[in-house]
Every structure is written in structure tokens, then in C-alpha cells.
Structure 1
Amino acid sequence: MTDHVILGKGQIGTTVAAILAERGARVRVLSRSGGKDAPGVEHVAVDARDAAALTAASAGADVIYNCANPAGYHQWAEEWPPMFAAILAAAKAHGASLVNTGNLYVYGPVAGPMTESTPLRSPGAKGRIRIRMWEDAMAAHEAGDLRFTEARGSDYFGPGALADAMLGERMVRPAMEGRTVDVFGDPDAPHTFTYIPDMARALVRLAGDDRAWGRPWHVPSAPPVSMREAVAALGRLAGAEPKVRRLPWWVLIQVVGAFKPAMRGMAETRHQWDGPYVMDSSAFTEAFGDEATGLDEALEATIAWWRRRLAAA
């Protein structure tokens, strides 16, 4: 039986664990704080920046899913290099395949839809960190030290997505309550959003198919919509009539960023919201047959999750 090790217990890692456990797989989730074991899922506390500790905690792994992420943008430069080096070392030590959760930062500002062949030309610090991770992993893959692939999604949303997601707490909750939703950037520019369960299913699919290795894959995502359209859809499905208000970037970067350092990092990615930001995921669907969850279905599940969360609070 394949031994699956998942790094990170956030929304994506937790969903990957649930999918695998439901299939009867052996699942181990590694995170800094650990967690409570569940049927089919073992939790282990480990600092992923410590290569020796991570290698020991992932002993026996056949597949490693990297779903971890530093807590905030302002920690990427300090935490990602040692963390990803430790992940590569652990995968090499065990002869494990590595499936990485990626994003679109590697491309930087582009004209037109992004595909897997779009050049990696990000001028920003976070994009360059992600490019280095990709290059280091692919060097190991090409050297025969491990098998590697990366699933890239656009802005994640869905059950469990909170303040760190643009289509998260700052948009979903006020929209479903019929309040004004504050947005940054062009509220009418088309934008690709990736549903968290679709991302998790893509990671599992890639881990189990020999065609996946040695290249990136864009996760099946619903057709792009503007933030105004997303807010309107949330309101329609929740039986509310929210409004959209555009705020200037300096409010987020200077005012909010004064007490939330991670928000200052949004300055580098504002191109994603100031104009069209569209990801083409057709290659994944053509290769594996998987399609994205429809936007209404995904938003309905998101609203239902929020209602349960608010009722419990």
C-alpha cells in the first residue's frame, strides 16, 4: 500500500488527506503544531525547516505532497528556502515522489491567458522565490534523485478559505450577508479562481499518474469571472443583495499593512487584480479528463461552510 505524506494541514492539505483516507490509503500529515489523529490519518508535529527532523518524520513515504506555506508573505524569504531544501532532502532520502502545490506568481504580469508554457519571468521577490523552488526541484528530477511535478492554481477559494484568500472572508461573508464588499483593483476585470477541492483532487490525480512527472499542470478551474460577478453570484445564492465598493491599494498596503505585515506583500501581486488575470487549465482536462467544479456549486458549498461556521460561533 502506498504511504502518503502530506506537509501542511491548511485547507488544501486537509482536503488531500480526506480524499486519500476515504480511499483507504495510509496518510500521515506533518505540520508544525501537529494535530489529532482521525480515522486513516496520522498527525505528526515537525518543523519542516529542519531537514533531519523532516526526513525522520516522513520515513517510509512513497509520495510527499507539499501543501505547506509560511504564515505570511513577509516570511517567505526567510522560511521558504530552508523549508523547501528540507522537503527535497526528505524526498531524495526516501526515494519518494514529490507533488508540489504551486501558484501563478512565477509568471509575473502577462498579456493573455497563462498556460504551462508561459515563461517564468516574475520580477517580484515572491515570484522569484517560487521560480527558484521550481528550478531546484526540476534539477533534482532531471538528475534522477526524485520524481517531481507541480500543480498550479489561481487564487484559491472554498470551504476553509479565510482572511488569506481574496475570495475568502473579506468577500464571502459580507456578500452572503448583503453588505458592501470592499475590493482592490478593477472589480470588472476577468479573474480565474481555483476551488480548493479541485486543487486537492488534482494533487492526488498527479501523484497517481506516470504522465504527470517532470512538468507543471494548471488545475482545472471554472471560467474566469470578475470580482463584481463573484460577489453578485454569492449574493444570489445566499438570497442577499450585496454591493461592491472599490478601495485604493494604499488602504491595504499602508493602512492595513501597518498592523498586518503580510498585507504589505500584496503590492507585488496587484497586477493580478488591476486587469484580466486568466489561467488556461485545458491541458490537465485533456490529459486526465478531470473538469472544474461549476462556480455556483463551489460557491454554494462555500456559503454552506460559512453558515455552519457562523452558527457554531
Structure 2
Amino acid sequence: MHVTVLGATGGIGRATTLELAARGHAVTAVSRSITPAHVPSDVRALAADLTDPVAARAACAGSDVVVMAASLPYAAWANHLQPMVTTALDAAAAADARFVMVDNLYGYGTPDTPITDASPEVGTTRKAAVRRDLGRSLLAAHAAGHARVTIGRFSDYYGVHGQNSLVNMLGVDRVLAGKRPQAFIDADQPHTFAYLPDAARAVATLVERPEADGRSWILPAAEPRTQRAILTLVCEAAGRPARIGRITPGMLWVAGLVDTQLREAREQVAQFDRPYVALGRDFEATFGPLRTTPHEVAVAETVAGRRVARSSGAPLAA
């Protein structure tokens, strides 16, 4: 099977590229700035601007499945995310390829009970509306026969390649730089964190199983942990004392006055000031249990991999 991964230098894009290649698929890894150094030798690297319809169609030509793992900074979601995804969807349709969209859980908002596939998408923030409308448009395209669409959704993630994730930015990379790790808003609320290789195995399952088409799936992850528990594991793996700080809502508000990304992150407070748990029950009932990595192992692997990355400065190709 020939699979094209769009956004292949991002966290889940890179992890999915590696997983698909390990399963023996022919993989083309696409992003604006990718080079062969970013991928294993058996993966084709292709630089392309996914906002350009001609470039997107060329990137997807000959594919059996297109994985859309590319995203944009928060501030660009409202005006630019839907057009970019639509361009990718049209490119997949032109290639007669299935379209597997990698998505998050924002559309569900912050319910008082665990998020499941049966949960209504009732999020009230601007970002929730963007993601909800995006998912609905993709499934409408599937229902209309324009393309064959599957959506895989997962919660906050971490991993060697997830340098822009909350756990990596506020935990792993700060600790490896000799700084104190920081919890976001509340250190002691249970939260679902997905390890990127686990999420990539779930995405690869959707790639290989065309019966997944026509709906969204919450991807399974290891059991929920608090940020304090995860950051304590980070400190233990790095050989540092577990002295954990906290970014408070007030600190976030002040920082957002001068930092656009932090200003946009104000909408995410409600995902961290209360329990935020997601359950991939439908996925496992349909495709079987997904092997997930215990957080103790996953965090240790992340710290070790990020330490190598920091010391070498080279792209992470494996």
C-alpha cells in the first residue's frame, strides 16, 4: 500500500510515518521543509506547500491512502485551517485515495464525564467551533461521495518527536535544560495523555482498515494520569528532583499580552482545571485492543530521545 503522510515533520505525522514504514508500506512523507534526513532511508521525502492545490495534488498522486497530519498555529486556525484541509481532501479525492484525518478532541468541549465517541460535540470556544465544523465538513464530503474519509481523534500527546507538546515544552525540555518543570493550570487533575508511538499505531490501523471510513474514532491511550504524576516521571528519568511549578490562569493572561500562542492557549484552561479523560472504546471494540505503552516506559523513552536530540542537533529520523 502506498501511503502519503501530509505534515510528516510534526509530532504525530513523523510518528505515523515511522509506524507505517515499519509495517512495510511504501510511504511518502510530505511537509513544507522536509529533507531526507528527517525520515528513514526507505521513506520518500517530498517538500510541498499544502496550501497550493497543484502541489498538494502532485504530492498525493498515486496514493492509496492520504494521512492528513498537518496543522497550523492556533492563531491561523480560524482563517486558514479549513482551506488547507479542503485542499488536501481534494488532492486525495483526485488520486482516488482514502483520506485519514488526524484530529483532536476540542470539539467536545469539557464535559463532566469521560469523552467517548457518543459524546456530543458541544464545545463553546472558537477553536472548538473550528474543529467541529472541520470534522462535519469532512464527513459530509464522505456522505456525498466526494471522498472516503476517516477521522482519528486523540488527546494531548508527548513523545520524542513531539517537541511542541505541552509535556515536552513544559516538562521534558525544561528539565533537560536544568529548569524546573511546570504544570499547566492544575497539576492534580486526571488527564488523558497519548504517547505518540501509541497514537501512530492507532492511526496506522485506520489506514489499513477501510471499514473505518465514514465516521470519527477516539483513539485509545494509556490510563489517565495527572500532570504532577507525568512530570514526576520526567524528573526521575532525567535524574532531577521533582520540584514542580505551575502556570496559573493569571500568569497565562499576562503572558498572552505579548505572546500570540499563549493568548490563544487561554481557551484551553478548561481542559486542565478539571478532569479531562478520553476513552477509545469504539475503536477497540471494532479493531481489537491497541497496545499502549505504560507512562513509566513512555516518559523514560521520551526523555532519553530528547536528550539525544538536544545534544546532536540532528533531525530525528528514527
1:204-224 deviation digits (Å, cap 9, x = unpaired): 111111331112212221111
| Separation in 2, partners of 1:10, 1:174 | 20
Amino acid at match of 2:285: E
* Matched ranges for 1:151-300 at <5 A: 151-162=152-163, 164-175=164-175, 179-255=179-255, 257-288=256-287, 289-300=289-300
Contact 1:185 1:275 in 2 (8 A): no
Amino acid at match of 2:267: E
- 2:229 is paired with a residue of what secondary structure? helix
Aligned twin of 1:103:
104
- 1:217 is paired with a residue of what secondary structure? strand
Q: Residue 181 of structure 1: CA displacement?
A: 2.2
| Separation in 1, partners of 2:174, 2:43 | 34
Unaligned runs of 5+ in 1: none
Aligned twin of 1:141:
142
Amino acid at match of 1:135: R
Contact 2:14 2:161 in 1 (8 A): no
- 2:12 is paired with a residue of what secondary structure? helix
Given candidates 49, 56, 59, the residue that maps to 1:57 is 59
1:255-299 deviation digits (Å, cap 9, x = unpaired): 2x3443111111111101111101112322232221321111111
Q: Residue 96 of structure 1: CA displacement?
A: 0.9
| Separation in 1, partners of 2:281, 2:292 | 10
Contact 2:15 2:197 in 1 (8 A): yes
| Separation in 2, partners of 1:38, 1:181 | 32
Amino acid at match of 1:4: V
| Separation in 1, partners of 2:239, 2:54 | 52
Contact 1:4 1:64 in 2 (8 A): yes
Q: Residue 135 of structure 1: CA displacement?
A: 0.8
Amino acid at match of 1:86: T
Given candidates 39, 43, 47, the residue that maps to 1:45 is 47
Runs of 4+ aligned residues of structure 1 deviating over 6 Å after TM superposition are none
Contact 1:178 1:241 in 2 (8 A): no
Q: Residue 118 of structure 1: CA displacement?
A: 0.7
| Separation in 2, partners of 1:55, 1:90 | 4
Contact 2:10 2:162 in 1 (8 A): no
| 1:93 is aligned to 2:94 | yes
Change (3 A) 1:237 1:215: same
Amino acid at match of 2:22: E
Contact 1:176 1:242 in 2 (8 A): no
Q: Residue 128 of structure 1: CA displacement?
A: 1.1
Contact 1:253 1:266 in 2 (8 A): no
* Matched ranges for 1:24-35 at <5 A: 24-35=24-35
Contact 2:106 2:131 in 1 (8 A): yes
Change (3 A) 1:57 1:175: closer
- TM-score of the pair, normalised by structure 2: 0.91
| Separation in 2, partners of 1:26, 1:210 | 17
1:228-266 deviation digits (Å, cap 9, x = unpaired): 1111222233333221223322322432x3443111111
Change (3 A) 1:131 1:178: same
Contact 1:99 1:151 in 2 (8 A): yes
Q: Residue 175 of structure 1: CA displacement?
A: 4.3
Contact 2:190 2:275 in 1 (8 A): yes
- 1:250 is paired with a residue of what secondary structure? helix
